[in-house]
Amino acid sequence: MLRLLWQAPSVLPLAVLCVVTVVGFLVPGDIHLASLLVAVPALTAGLMGPRFTALITGLACISAAALDIRDGLMDSPILPIHLIDLLVVCGLVVLFWRLRDMDFKALVQARSVSDAAQRAVLRPLPRRIGRLRIASVYRSAAAQAQIGGDLYAAERTPGAVRLIIGDVRGKGLPAVDDAAAVLGAFREAAHRDATLPDLVASLEGSVGRHLREVGKTDRDSGERFITALVLEIPDDAPVVRMISCGHPPPLRSHHGVTTVLRSPHPAPPLGLAQGVDDYQLDTFPLESGDTLLLHTDGLLEARDGTGAFYPAQERFDALLWCDPDELLQRLLKDLLEHVEGRLEDDVALVALERLREQPELPTA
């Protein structure tokens, strides 16, 4: 019954109208039920539009007048009071519906702007680039938010693919602003700088300038920095080159065995590395068929109801998948089950697989 009322919301006010009218004619004349009909237009609030509300109110007025006349109240002031009550409630319901419609349109517009901002700031990664097959997913902890402080990008350069994944300290619009600054700097420097250490040094310079400019206008901005992992995967060598700037290490699956690629000498986060001019390059094997999982700390710090952290390495090792897309789908589903659907921090995931065959190398 409840399911029927949910699927056809017009049934409920019509049912109340019919029940009150029928019962009103069956009970003795000294029992007046016409006042109960005020519930009929009230039940349409949030369910039906103004036209249906006006129609149901008109039927309720006819029924109320009939009941009052039957009860001998034709010359009593009670009859017009009942009609006025119905019309006032109808007007309030229509006003509520109009305000709700305005809020809904504003929400739709805000979501469209958010989607456009997401596409501009956090562009979707190509499914194939160089010798890699890539999948990515971003899940914001904030309600209705599409983007936040986590970031990722990939750029095709001659003979290699360069990637970045990062996490901005903080939340809200300042975090989005910092993420946009990092991504813009990476997309430019990835094509300009010859080596990965030069690329990271260039990112540090750009982030430092951005944060200094922010500090001039926002005195309450506090300490801001960005953890980042910058990678380079060449076409002609089965390796991944990496510089970690205080970011969680990636996970590599090689023939079903999971390894954490920890940097032996990580650099400070971007924005805190002033004076660092010698970034150490780490190199790890990445053979054909290997899968690499890049993630932000939202994956590692996700807790269940008992406070237990999500066992990312164990789950990555246990899950079965055929391609990066399936891996991220299963991993995200498993993560949301662990936290019972309530994330406390943004989560960005990028999975990439080194292809066994040599595809055509598209440009980014």
Query: Residues 152, 237: one domain?
Result: yes
Q: Over 90: is that where the pLDDT of 223 sits?
A: no
Alpha helices, H only, the chain: 2-7, 11-26, 39-42, 50-70, 78-121, 172-192, 196-217, 297-300, 312-318, 324-338
Total structural domains in the chain?
2
pLDDT digits (tens, 9 = 90+) for 49-64: 778 888 888 888 888 8
Query: Residues 190, 328: one domain?
Result: yes
pLDDT digits (tens, 9 = 90+) for 227-281: 999 999 999 999 999 999 999 999 999 988 999 999 998 999 998 876 666 789 9
Query: Residues 331, 255: one domain?
Result: yes
Tell me, yes or no, whether 361 lies in a domain.
no
* Domain-ending residue, one of 92, 114, 136: 114
Average pLDDT of the residues in 157-168: 94
Query: Residues 209, 127: one domain?
Result: yes
Query: Residues 95, 198: one domain?
Result: no
- Taking each helix axis from N to C end, the angle separating 78-121 and 50-70, rounded to the nearest 10 degrees, works out to 160
Tell me, yes or no, whether 235 lies in a domain.
yes
Query: Residues 250, 320: one domain?
Result: yes
Query: Residues 68, 182: one domain?
Result: no
Does residue 179 contact residue 122 with C-beta atoms inside 8 Å? Answer: yes
Tell me, yes or no, whether 360 lies in a domain.
no
The token pair at 169 is 């300290």
pLDDT score of 175: 80
pLDDT score of 8: 54
What is the spatial distance between Cα 156 and Cα 153, in angstroms, rounded to a whole number? 10
If one compares 324 and 56, the residue with the highest pLDDT of the two is: 324
Task: Please name the residues in contact with 123: beta carbons below 8 A apart, sequence gap of 6 or more.
Answer: 153
Confidence bin at 217 (pLDDT 50/70/90): low
Q: Which domain holds residue 53?
A: 2-114
Distances from the Cα of 62 to the Cαs of 21, 56, 80, 210, in angstroms? 10, 10, 12, 69
What is the spatial distance between Cα 290 and Cα 159, in angstroms, rounded to a whole number? 19
What's the pTM?
Answer: 0.70
Task: Please name the residues in contact with 235: beta carbons below 8 A apart, sequence gap of 6 or more.
Answer: 130, 131, 159, 160, 361
